[in-house]
Structure 1
């Protein structure tokens, strides 16, 4: 037991990457799916939040882009297929969400920032052994 707690093995590390990928990927894919369920008015509301950052009109388009990045990025990360691309899509959306909530207090921006850091960690680690990337492209 002490050996397990004190020494890292590649199997444990790859299993940890899998757990992180699944947690982040499934959560973000579901967030994107829910944005699509809101229809055109829901996507407009998501995009309209960008007005606070000085982004001009086309709010429905920007809302759709956020939903696509969350859904597609989440699916790619969860499966470990083009993992780094998927994690960059998620990191971009989560960075924007963090910026939008900075003024609302710690508990408003904490969640998107932590998820964004998880996406960045996955970007640097890659998909790991238990990913489609590993099956297709090797290590």
Structure 2
């Protein structure tokens, strides 16, 4: 037991990457799926949140891009397929959400920032041994 707690082994590290990929990927793909189900009115609301950043017009398009990025990025992460691309899609959406909520207090921006840092960590780590990337492209 002490060995497990004090020494890192590649198997443990790769299993940790898998757990992180699955948690973030499933969560974010569900977020994107729900946004896409909300229809044009819901996508407009998501896109309209970008107005404080100086983005004007085409709110439905930006809302759809956000939802699609979450859905596709989450699926790619969960599968470990093109993991770095999926993590970049999610990091972009999550850091934008963090900026949009920065003035609303700690508990408003904490969640998207932590998820964004997890996506960034996955970008640097890659998919790990237990990913489709490892099967297709090797380590």
> The TM-score by the shorter chain falls in which range?
over 0.9
Give matches, 1:34-49, under 5 Å. 34-49=34-49
Residues in 2 aligned to 1:18 and 1:105: alpha-carbon distance in whole angstroms: 32
Aligned residues, how many?
139
Residues in 1 aligned to 2:65 and 2:37: alpha-carbon distance in whole angstroms: 14
Question: By how many angstroms is 1:37 displaced?
Answer: 1.0
For 2:73, the equivalent position in structure 1 comes to 73
For 2:59, the equivalent position in structure 1 comes to 59
After TM superposition, what 4+ stretches of structure 1 lie above 3 angstroms from structure 2? Answer: none
For 1:135, the equivalent position in structure 2 comes to 135
For 2:24, the equivalent position in structure 1 comes to 24
Question: By how many angstroms is 1:52 displaced?
Answer: 1.0
Residues in 1 aligned to 2:46 and 2:88: alpha-carbon distance in whole angstroms: 20
Residues in 2 aligned to 1:126 and 1:75: alpha-carbon distance in whole angstroms: 15
Question: By how many angstroms is 1:56 displaced?
Answer: 1.2
Give the unaligned 5+ runs of structure 2.
none
Residues in 1 aligned to 2:79 and 2:128: alpha-carbon distance in whole angstroms: 11
For 1:115, the equivalent position in structure 2 comes to 115
TM-score, normalised to structure 2, is: 1.00
SS in structure 2 of the partner of residue 14 of structure 1: helix
Give the unaligned 5+ runs of structure 1.
none
Residues in 1 aligned to 2:98 and 2:54: alpha-carbon distance in whole angstroms: 15
Residues in 1 aligned to 2:78 and 2:121: alpha-carbon distance in whole angstroms: 14
TM-score, normalised to structure 1, is: 1.00
Residues in 2 aligned to 1:34 and 1:98: alpha-carbon distance in whole angstroms: 19
